[in-house]
Amino acid sequence: MFSSQRKAGAAMIGFALAVNVPFMLLIDRFGYDDVLREPPLQVLSAFRAGGAELILIWLAFALCALSFLWVSAWTGEAIRAGGGRWPAWAAAAGAGSAIAQAIGLSRWSFVVPGLAERALDGGPMESAAAIGAYEALHQFAGVAIGEWLGQTLLAAWTLALGLALVRGPLARGLWTRGLGVTAIVLTPLWIVGQSELLATVHADFPELQITQWVFTAWLVWLLAFGVTWLAGGGTRATQAYDKVIL
């Protein structure tokens, strides 16, 4: 039977790999996420051209985001089993991030299809109303809930995990501490990158365009951490690695 750390490690690996499948499909079939910077009619036209398949890809993306609930829950269980401290706010941040991002992504499967139909096939007034609704939905459900709230909470969860890895009983060797330090370093970069979301509402805010790179680095970090816990439950694997580098 898997230990709690190995179970959490397997969940981290599964999440990091699974989330890339719909993401890569959206790049290929929809031009994501560059297409989102195009005028609304062009975005909606590209979306409708993807048909039912694109709707299902977006739904899969939302389900992948929601699956982080298990990653967060099992990570907290593993930290407590290892004698580490896992505060209630960290558990809430992980769960909240999964739900917020799933809500934001779900708009593409359940709301945008109808808006695309009315915007492209309706009369001038209906089309204008649909475009306005799409823009408001994109800013609220996508930018505010999915990206800002969801990723800010995910950064908070990452910070909590980083702190747990650099202090207390889980701080076992250079490799584990290095993973913890990496998490702590990624967190402020993630928060600074959120400035690009404010740039969508006012031109005075800088558009740094670093969030995508930070998230990619976070996925690599999560995968490395998941492999570490799956391979040795955070003990034998890290100790063996430390002997090699020392």
Q: Say which residues have a Cβ less than 8 Å from residue 220's Cβ, sequence separation at least 6.
A: 16
- % of the chain beyond a pLDDT of 90: 76
Closest CA to 226 of 79, 15, 20, 1: 15
pLDDT at 242 over 80: no
Q: Which residue has the higher pLDDT, 79 or 244?
A: 79
Average pLDDT over residues 6-20: 96
Q: Which pLDDT score is estimated for 244?
A: 36
**pLDDT grade for 238, boundaries at 50, 70 and 90:** very low
Cβ proximity of 159 and 87 under 8 Å: no
Alpha helices in 67-87 (DSSP H): 68-81
Rounded alpha-carbon distances, angstroms, from residue 149 to 88, 100, 120: 18, 7, 31
Q: Which pLDDT score is estimated for 226?
A: 96
Average pLDDT, the chain: 91
Handedness of CA 149, 147, 229, 7 (dihedral sign): positive
**pLDDT grade for 202, boundaries at 50, 70 and 90:** confident
Q: Which pLDDT score is estimated for 239?
A: 44
Closest CA to 81 of 14, 8, 153, 12: 8
One-letter amino acid for residue 201 of the chain: V
**pLDDT grade for 2, boundaries at 50, 70 and 90:** low
**117-121, 124-128, 198-202: least confident range:** 198-202
Average pLDDT over residues 174-191: 93
Mind listing the pLDDT tens digit for each residue in 59-97? Answer: 999 999 999 999 999 999 999 998 888 999 999 999 999
Q: Which pLDDT score is estimated for 183?
A: 96
First to last CA, the chain: 32
pLDDT at 21 over 60: yes
User: pTM surpassing 0.85?
Assistant: yes
165: which 2 tokens?
């890895």
Q: Which residue has the higher pLDDT, 66 or 239?
A: 66
121: which 2 tokens?
């096939």
Instruction: Give the C-alpha separation, 16 to 14, whole Å.
Output: 6
> What's the burial of 49, exposed, middle or buried (CB within 10 Å: 0-12/13-18/19+)?
exposed
Q: Which pLDDT score is estimated for 233?
A: 54
Place of tokens 């005075």: 204
Instruction: Give the C-alpha separation, 45 to 41, whole Å.
Output: 6
Q: Which residue has the higher pLDDT, 3 or 2?
A: 3
> What's the burial of 169, exposed, middle or buried (CB within 10 Å: 0-12/13-18/19+)?
exposed
